[in-house]
Structure 1
């Protein structure tokens, strides 16, 4: 007997309300954007229930990433409710049923046939990875970004059905920020119990990394960043010491302070979540002998040279780490749940606003007035 192929399930709107970026550094336009009429196998339509913003959204809005083309719908950390399914879309990454009404979070789509997907078996290195900000809002399939009432989930975007107790904001943040931190620690080889960890950056990634280092058994955690309210949250998340980069503006002085805090031995693990021009130079200099420096942030074209003689002389390992895949997403959700009683995750998030407030939410991220702004399109 031939197996029955599932048919597309339920109907979905023909258009969606969205906050569209048409020009960089300009107001977002609240407008309607088409949704795909036919759903290919493996795809879905989701009603967005929460989009959490990150610094990348602010960078994209400013136009500092030259490969991005407008018009686009910003937002790449989302959670939502399934409203329509294409054929062969009925299971999540764990094999759980995906049904109309399921609450899901999902990874970026991957092609499944390039070298990264097949030979290396690393979906995060897919040549055709489908980031939302790589999708123009005036071309099919139109709406992949999170600043939209509905979004299209392409085939190859592995989804995970959420546990009932998982808040939408936590799940959305796991979709990029938290899974990026999870992967960075994994690529570093983890945290040796009792070791010293230095975290560069006190944005959402740096704050989550501070908590993760503490939860993993680090003996001492040092967080560098700013402004002071973020460093206060870093202390609540387990930082033994903080360095305010807006106060200590000399990179060499920051290195000297880490050296003093570590008894001149340096840190065993330094993670760059700042992406500042001097971050990688500082990170290497903060490492002790046989230390590891993990590069996650984008230092930009004006990056200070990394002292390779120090890398050689101290036998430092420099590791690159790029975002995360669906496995990292699953581990991110598990981490948030497992330590919900220990760390106040809700302290990361601003009160949600609707699409009409999305532009101000992005501006708040750009000015660091918000740690993690939240947009709920259903509030309009």
Structure 2
């Protein structure tokens, strides 16, 4: 089969690889009908994520048709059309029973690698390094889905792939970010990063009762999407000071809830931004915590900071004293996707939201390497890429 494979920094190739087979009786095999490039895939593309090996199959936002099931799969049948969450969860460990699916105890076969870095291992993830399981990803013609009774959600044939594909990751991720922000009626919510997760965080903030949503970015087309589709007020951080503008918009109090939808590859300005890039380049720090610093400074006293943006290791010069003295609450984590699949599918079916608004490019799998470069360089107004194998 054809698949997108990783071969080092900025080196993604379309290659012929073995088609997956049933390994465990709880597996299913999927023929992929649509798959997407996620912003967190760029952390792999730029070689920031440890544990990648040459030839690894990328991708964690897939959907398709079930073509084979293991002997112990009960919920799925051949021919079912499903979306697959990026988190691989067993459904029976203590964490899964608490609906904390991204913290599953049993799905990372390389748990010791993650535990050395983090103290404990989170769940295994599709296509996201051997530190998180070494599972083949979904940017391919076929995908093996472990624990198939726990993950995939069936979708109605009347809904096009483009409307339901993002249940795999970015819609639940933006929604959980808004939920973690603990939004109350009349709150002002500031969202750093207007990529796809930021766009869904904006949409979700309104669902939770926000009174005002402010979107912060530097890319014109992303800010325009936040205004047009998310009814957000916008700040271009290259044109104005974010702290000063937010204080002006909130009468000096600051936004009640702040969402960091950027993560490790944040773009800083001035000397601090240059310093972060240099320190990351020589391995002194793993992530560029530009947004974390700014959100802590901007958030009102007693407010909440929600972090769906992916961080990979150690960060430098984070103002923890400000966070503590301002009594901020911080909530973060990989998304517990399975918790949100049915409620968010219902919102799509009821017409409350059409997630396809974020798609800017639809291409074949063969165009994947070119689109990785385009997306990474923020060229051609590229916001979200969907590929058809």
Residue 318 (1) aligns with residue 296 (2): no
Q: 1:193 aligns with which of 160, 185, 195?
A: 185
User: Alpha carbon RMSD of aligned pairs, Å?
Assistant: 2.5
Q: 1:293 aligns with which of 305, 308, 312?
A: 305
Contact 1:39-1:85 at 8 Å conserved across structures? no
Bigger Rg, structure 1 or 2: 1
For residues 4-47 of structure 1, give each alpha carbon's deviation from its aligned partner in whole angstroms, at most 9, with x where no partner exists: xxxxxxxxxxxx222222333224032132322x4532211111
Residue 243 of structure 1 and its aligned partner are, at CA, apart by 0.9
Aligned partner of 1:34 in structure 2 is 19
Q: 1:101 aligns with which of 75, 79, 94?
A: 79
- Map residues 26-105 of structure 1 onto 2, 5 A cutoff: 26-36=11-21, 38-91=22-75, 98-105=76-83
3-state SS in 1 of match to 2:44: helix
Contact 2:4-2:12 at 8 Å conserved across structures? no
Whole-angstrom CA distance in 1 between matches of 2:312 and 2:152: 32
TM-score, with length taken from structure 1? 0.82
Whole-angstrom CA distance in 2 between matches of 1:367 and 1:339: 33
Residue 373 of structure 1 and its aligned partner are, at CA, apart by 0.4
Q: 2:341 aligns with which of 316, 326, 329?
A: 329
Aligned partner of 1:349 in structure 2 is 359
Between 1:227-236 and 1:175-184, the stretch displaced more is: 175-184
In structure 2, the CA distance between the partners of 1:285 and 1:142, relative to structure 1 (3 Å rule), is: closer
Contact 2:14-2:366 at 8 Å conserved across structures? no
Structure 2 unaligned regions, length at least 5: 109-122, 267-288
3-state SS in 2 of match to 1:333: helix
Q: 2:371 aligns with which of 357, 361, 369?
A: 361
How many residues were matched structurally?
A: 343
Whole-angstrom CA distance in 2 between matches of 1:147 and 1:300: 22
In structure 2, the CA distance between the partners of 1:113 and 1:338, relative to structure 1 (3 Å rule), is: closer
Whole-angstrom CA distance in 1 between matches of 2:246 and 2:190: 8
In structure 2, the CA distance between the partners of 1:150 and 1:59, relative to structure 1 (3 Å rule), is: same
Residue 142 of structure 1 and its aligned partner are, at CA, apart by 9.2
Residue 375 (1) aligns with residue 367 (2): no
